[in-house]
Amino acid sequence: MERLFSRLALADTHEDLFRNVVSLFESQNLFDDLSSAPDEWRLAQQVEADARPLPYRSHQPEIDRPFEDSVWYNAIRWPFRNWQESRFSDGSFGVWYGSDRIYTTIYETMYHWYRGLVCDAGFEQEQVAIERRVFRVACDALLLDFRQAAEAWPAMLHPADYTFTQLVGARVKREGHSGILTLSVRHHGGLNYAIMNPHILSSPRHHSYLRYQLCDGSVSVDGSGGILPIEVAVESFG
């Protein structure tokens, strides 16, 4: 472990990262329980907008306004409030994961969806679909750069055994570092970011919607925003 950390560099990071989460294509209409007429929904929405106090001007709209708060929560806050075991955490603290490319997030989440939510639930022989949403999130921080070190330490890139990387993550968290930059295991050439400090993330923005579907031994992905369709045989997931 000491030799690994002695080989690290720092990555001065100021860029948008892609965050891929479970979501729905359509948000709920808040007025559909009052009327079945779309024109009346629009009228109710206009009344609600007109009734909103004019003096209200938020300097942090993602935090202060209820609907924008949901974007902030889904894109940034959720993993810091809902701790889960992952590559760099044993479940005793939260880690936010993002990628430098949208296709890296797709290959990463496709694997975990199939292995975790599908196989563990016993649906690997069924036709199963899930909807997801991709956000762009600004990241501004000095991160520990594990790219070169990871190539020399195979345990850093093991596809399924997280024993070593969880020890790495625990040390990074304990010593108060903002996060980790490392190579993607699922997408060759892609980069992943494991963030320990939510305060270095900001400005969440919607990017695209995705739909994952398991059918006939393959997982296919398509979505909005110019995303090219992807299909991967599940046997490649190991």
For residue range 161-178, what is the model confidence (pLDDT) as tens digits? 999 999 999 999 999 999
Any domain includes 54: no
Any domain includes 83: yes
**Helix-, strand-, coil-residue percentages of the chain, each rounded to 5:** 35, 30, 30
Q: What is the pLDDT of residue 53?
A: 45
Q: What is the pLDDT of residue 27?
A: 45
What is the count of structural domains for the chain? 1
Tokens 């909103």 map to which residue?
52
Rounded to an integer, the average pLDDT of 44-60 is 48
Q: Report the range out of 59-63, 81-85, 115-119, 126-130 with the highest average pLDDT.
A: 81-85
Q: Above 60 in pLDDT, residue 55?
A: no
**For residue 167, what is the enclosing H or E element?**
helix 163-174
pTM: 0.81
Q: Which residue has the higher pLDDT, 150 or 9?
A: 9
Any domain includes 43: no
The range of the structural domain enclosing residue 130 comes to 2-26+61-237
Q: Which residue has the higher pLDDT, 67 or 177?
A: 177
Any domain includes 21: yes
For residue range 169-226, what is the model confidence (pLDDT) as tens digits? 999 999 999 999 999 999 999 999 999 999 999 999 999 999 999 988 899 999 887 8
Q: Above 60 in pLDDT, residue 81?
A: yes
Q: Are 32 and 118 in contact (CB under 8 A)?
A: no
Any domain includes 150: yes
Any domain includes 56: no
Any domain includes 39: no
Read off the pLDDT band of 62 (50, 70, 90). Answer: very low
Alpha carbons within 13 angstroms on the beta-carbon side of residue 152 total: 11
What is the tally of helices (H) and strands (E) in the chain? 8, 10
Q: What is the pLDDT of residue 36?
A: 60
Any domain includes 66: yes
- Of 138, 117, 102, the closest CA to residue 20 belongs to 102
Read off the pLDDT band of 54 (50, 70, 90). Answer: very low
Q: Which residue has the higher pLDDT, 25 or 141?
A: 141
Q: What is the pLDDT of residue 30?
A: 47
Q: Which residues contact 73 (CB under 8 A, 6 or more apart)?
A: 81
Rounded to an integer, the average pLDDT of 24-43 is 53
